[in-house]
Chains A and B, each alone.
Chain A
Amino acid sequence: MPIRSAFGDAARNAARDLRRLPSQARKVAGKEVQERVAEPLATEVRQAYSSGSRMAQPLSAQVKTRVNAEPVISVGGARKLVSGGGSGRNLVYGLEFGSGTRPQRAERLIRNAARGRSSRGGSRTRRSTAQFAGEGGHYIFGTFSREAERTYDRWLGVLGVVLEEWEQSRG
């Protein structure tokens, strides 16, 4: 069993237990974590999209964070981002994972957009969007990986302080 699995188990357990915190503490922790941990991480993801491929660049403005006790980043949006009509949601899955149900849809939209055609029509012969991913690819999880150590340190530190303060405020 790889080390990663043990770490993954510990991480999932911690995330699950965080959801069981009293709601008041969860709200406080959520705001702090969003501001101090998720936002810096989102900035890195935005940077990755900005320096990515032509189709990735519009997504840099679509990166958002959420109020949550664990750092959560959301990328997508229904707004049209490319000339063919592709939205952030159409682009993000293909750019992140490369193929599958959603990437197929995104790929078609992207390809048609590149050819200046309507978003409808066209064949489905090509399923991969790897050519749009730029040299790095995996913009979100690649960034997570690069920033993992620093982000975990920051997250655990912030959470420790928040829980301590919350406990003191009760007493």
Chain B
Amino acid sequence: MADKGRDLTARFVTDTDQFHTDKAAAGLDDVARSADRADDNLDGLGKGAQLDNLARDAKTADEALDDAARAADKLDDNLDDLEQALKDAERELKANGDASDDLGAKLRDAFDRAKDAAKQAREASDDVGDGLSNAKDRVKEFGAEGTDTAREVAASFDGSASSIVDGFQEVAANAAAAFGPIGLAVGIAAAVGLGALRAEQERTREETNRLKAAIQALESGTTDADTATREYLDGLEDQGKTLQALKKDADALGIGLDVLVRAQAGNRDAIDEVTAATEAYVRARDEQSNGQGALGFALLESVGQTLGLSEATADLGKNADAARETTKLYQEALGQTSETQERARETQEAYSQAVTDFSDPAGAYQETVQAMAQKTADATKDTTDSWEDYADKTGASLTDVNDTLEKQVQAAENWKSNMTRLAGQVSDETLEYLAKLGPEGAPLVQQLVDASDEEMARFEDLMKRRAASGVDGVGTALLDGKTVVADAGKTLGEEFAKQLADSIARGSDDAVSAAKKIRDRIKEVYADKITQTVDVQERSLIRQEQAMALRNRP
């Protein structure tokens, strides 16, 4: 007989969705069975009226749990439906005048939180996937010749620190610049994803066991119920405390809580954002007061510890093992590749120095010139004149520039305290916008703090209209222009920046196109350096490939 079919191939890992891995429903079945047994026992003992009543109560609870189990079984492991089933159980208990009303409410509340934890776990899982995808993108940047080797190397690690040091030592100097030290560790850890899988498995198991214990306790209707539920709720309470601590750190850094949590879960972008925010904060503190840099480092250390809150992360439904491993890797990498990191940091700083500095003399000069030109324009008879018409004729003394600089420095010093004060006064969206500006937005923050209630309300209103009208793109383009001006001031000399300021002041070109010109100029200046860097990366990758070939030779 001709047989053209194929055998049935079942893959245990890939086909996970084909069979039950969530034990919540199975747990409820167990509970229902134990309740059955308890019911039988009670029936057997129920000779007195009191025992009969007890048996009836237990049977009602048992039926309610049976309902829950059936509902869970019917709709598999959908937590929403489980929640409904638990509500039914609670209602049944209430109808019987059981003393467990409060307990039922607590259980439902606990279930809500468990559901949130499940959602967060899914997001964490997505983040790990994103991290891998980003890591691959970065690998591609290394150059066509080295891409395959780099990917193979990245995929070949089991995530241990030694594998990073052994395998990536040669490319670490360049890779660290592209990935950042944490990104490097996360990218590799995520490459195989076993940590994520194990953490998810353990988390599911723990969650199920807790839920099962709580439900069993509810079924028994004894004081044990309170104990079991309290234990479960205590665990959730710890999550709350952890969240509060995280929120505090996030506020201090001027980033969203979600970013910090994602960073814990191993999301590379989020980690980069946290690192950048921390560095910006440290820098701002250093500028504010010489010698207080230690505070910044203390904060950095604190954030590092926060990233290592593996236990809390597990409770939050995050990828605990991955986070723990990441932290471990990061700490080890800090120790073992400090030299590499130092070089990478210097390189990065060289590129971003102009962007991150706030008090730039060129910007101050430009601002002063504009202010004075506007003042001149105001004094003329033609009210339609603008400062641009007079900028060429206006000069600025060193005193004027110093005054402007002083204002900027003052605003930067007050930035953090002002942001804290604004936290209760403006909407979250506005606060987020101001936080995004960083210390560069210090003058605006200062003015908002000093503003009257009416002005503040108007600003809020304008911010809402701005968000609704989608002018973010325009704002970003202008901000880019400003950044490039600062860049030019730092990298190409103040003279060049002055020319740019003059160009803008003359109105010969709009700010954005002028900025683009400057950006092109910067590219020209740095083209050789970038080419050299890529060459070094490629050479390193080739060496790495050769070394691997030697090792793998039979």
- CB-nearest residue of chain A to B166: A171
Contacts of B124 in A (CB 8 A): 6
Known: A8-B17, A20-B151, A92-B8. A14 touches B79 (CB 8 A): no
Shortest Cβ distance from B192 into A: residue: A17
Docked pose: A18 CA to B158 CA in angstroms? 11
What residues of chain A lie closer than 8 Å to B474, measured between beta carbons?
none
Contact B10 A72, beta carbon cutoff 8 Å: yes
Q: How far apart sit A108 and B487, CA to CA, in the bound complex (Å)?
A: 78
State how many angstroms separate the Cβ of A132 from the closest Cβ of chain B: 15
B19 adjacent to A7 (CB under 8 Å):
no
- In contact, B156 and A87 (Cβ under 8 angstroms): no
* Neighbour of B11 across the interface among A1, A15, A17, CB < 8 A: A15
B538 contacts chain A at the CB level, 8 A cutoff:
no
Give the A-B pair count, Cβ closer than 8 A: 193
B13 touches A3 (CB 8 A): no
Q: Choose among A70, A73, A76, A85 the residue that contacts B14 (Cβ–Cβ < 8 A).
A: A70
Contact B193 A10 (CB under 8 A): yes
Q: What separation, in Å, do the CA atoms of A96 and B15 have in the docked complex?
A: 14
| Separation of A97 and B276 alpha carbons in the complex (Å) | 53
Q: Which residues of B contact A12 (CB under 8 A)?
A: 13-14, 16
Asked if A4 and B77 make an inter-chain contact with CB atoms under 8 angstroms apart, the answer reads: yes
Contact check, B155 vs A20: say whether CB atoms are below 8 A apart.
yes
Contacts of B160 in A (CB 8 A): 164, 167
Segment from A48-56, A123-131, A136-144 that makes contact with B: A136-144
Q: Contact at A21–B21, with CB atoms within 8 Å?
A: no
**Residue of A5, A17, A76 touching B8 (CB-CB under 8 A):** A76
| Contact flag A87-B155 (CB < 8 Å), given A4-B21, A11-B14, A41-B12 | no
Interface size on B, residues (CB 8 A): 60
Contact among B19, B22, B193 for A3, CB-based, below 8 A: B22
Q: How far is the CB of A111 from chain B (nearest CB, A)?
A: 16
Residues in B with CB closer than 8 Å to A76 are: 5-8
Q: Smallest CB-CB separation from B152: which chain A residue? A: A22
Do B78 and A15 have beta carbons less than 8 Å apart? no
Partner of A77, one of B7, B121, B155, B193: B7
Interface residue tally on A, bucketed by range:
35 or more
The one of B15, B78, B122, B205 in contact with A9, judged by C-beta atoms closer than 8 angstroms, is: B122
- A26 nearest CB across to chain B (Å): 10
Q: Is the CB of B156 within 8 A of A25?
A: yes
Contact among B3, B10, B198 for A156, CB-based, below 8 A:
B198
Asked if residues B3 and A5 are in contact (CB atoms below 8 Å), the reply is no
Q: A143 — nearest CB in chain B belongs to which residue?
A: B19
Give the residue name and chain of the B residue nearest to A80 (CB). B1
Q: Which residues of B contact A7 (CB under 8 A)?
A: 16, 21-22, 197, 200-201, 204
Compute how far the CA of A20 lies from the CA of B132 in the bound complex, rounded to whole angstroms: 13
Q: Which residues of B contact A167 (CB under 8 A)?
A: 156-158, 160, 162-163, 166
B128 contacts partner chain A, Cβ-Cβ < 8 Å: yes
Within the assembled complex, what's the spacing in Å between the Cα atoms of A49 and B152?
A: 41
Chain A 141-171 against B: per-residue CB contact (8 Å), 1 yes, 0 no? 1101100110110011001100110010011
Out of B12, B121, B129, name the residue touching A72 (CB < 8 Å).
B12
Q: Which residue of A lies closest to B191 (CB)?
A: A17
Contacting pair A71 B129 (CB below 8 A): no
In Å, the complex CA distance between A74 and B7 comes to 6
Asked if A89 is at the interface (CB within 8 A of a chain B CB), the reply is yes
> Chain A contacts of B157 at CB under 8 A?
167
Query: From A18, which residue of chain B is reached at the shortest CB distance?
Result: B192
User: Which chain B positions have C-beta within 8 A of A75?
Assistant: 7-8, 10
* Contact status A2-B197, CB under 8 Å: no
Q: Do residues B10 and A73 form an inter-chain contact, with CB atoms below 8 A? A: yes
Closest approach, in angstroms, between the C-beta of B411 and any C-beta of chain A? 46
Q: A60 to chain B: which residues have CB within 8 Å? A: none
Question: By the criterion CB–CB under 8 Å, are B197 and A6 in contact?
Answer: no
A70: chain B residues at CB < 8 Å are: 11-14
Contact B197 A14 (CB under 8 A): yes
Q: Could you tell me if A159 and B194 are in contact, using CB atoms closer than 8 angstroms? A: yes
Cβ-closest chain A residue relative to B1: A85
Q: Nearest-CB distance from A47 to chain B (Å)?
A: 15
> Taking A7-B200, A8-B21, A144-B19 as contacts, is the C-beta distance between A2 and B1 under 8 angstroms?
no
Interface centre among B12, B17, B118, B196 (most CB of A within 10 A): B12
Q: Which residues on A sit within 8 Å (CB–CB) of B156?
A: 21-22, 25, 167
Are the CB atoms of A1 and B155 closer together than 8 Å? no
- Chain A contacts with B in 1-46, Cβ cutoff 8 A: 1-15, 17-18, 20-22, 24-25, 37-38, 41
Q: Separation in Å of the A2 CB from the closest CB of chain B?
A: 5
Question: Which of A11, A38, A90, A171 is close to B5, meaning CB atoms less than 8 Å apart?
Answer: A90
B20 in contact (CB, < 8 A) = yes
Whether, in the assembled complex, B545 has its beta carbon less than 8 Å from a beta carbon of chain A, the answer is: no
- Confirm or deny: B64 has a beta carbon within 8 angstroms of a beta carbon on chain A: no
A148 cross-chain contacts in B, Cβ below 8 A: 19-21
Q: Are A13 and B122 in contact (CB under 8 A)?
A: no
- Judge if A98 is at the interface, Cβ distance under 8 Å: no
A2 touches B118 (CB 8 A): yes
- Within the complex, the shortest CB–CB distance from B154 to chain A, in Å, comes to 9
Alpha-carbon separation in the docked complex, A159 to B15 (Å): 18
Q: Give 1 or 0 for each of B1-42: 1 = CB within 8 Å of chain A CB.
A: 101011111111111111111111000000000000000000
A164 vs B159: C-alpha distance when bound (angstroms):
10
User: Taking the complex as formed, is B315 at the interface, i.e. its CB lies under 8 A from any CB of chain A?
Assistant: no
Are B5's CB and A119's CB within 8 A? no
Q: Are B8 and A21 in contact (CB under 8 A)?
A: no
What A residues does B23 contact at CB under 8 A? 149
Q: Which of B78, B129, B552 is A13 in contact with, Cβ under 8 Å?
A: B129
Q: Is A78 an interface residue (CB 8 A)?
A: yes
B95 to chain A, nearest CB (A): 30
Bound form: Cα–Cα A151–B196 in Å: 17
**A160–B8 CB distance below 8 A:** no
Bound: A93/B6 CA distance, A:
10
- Contact at B20–A2, with CB atoms within 8 Å? no
* Contact for B77 among A3, A149, A152, CB less than 8 A: A3
Bound form: Cα–Cα A41–B11 in Å: 11
**Complex formed: what's the CA distance from A15 to B191 in Å?**
11
Q: Hey, which chain A residues are within 8 Å of B204, CB to CB?
A: 3, 7
In the assembled complex, 11 residue pairs joining A and B whose CB atoms fall closer than 8 Å, in A order, are: A5-B122, A7-B197, A8-B17, A10-B196, A17-B155, A21-B155, A72-B12, A140-B10, A141-B18, A144-B12, A171-B166
Residue ranges of B at the interface with A (Cβ–Cβ < 8 Å):
1, 3, 5-24, 76-79, 118-119, 121-122, 124-126, 128-129, 132, 151-152, 155-158, 160, 162-163, 166, 191-194, 196-198, 200-201, 204-205, 207, 551-552
With A1-B122, A15-B13, A167-B162 given, name 6 new contacts (CB 8 A): A6-B122, A8-B16, A20-B152, A41-B12, A148-B20, A148-B21
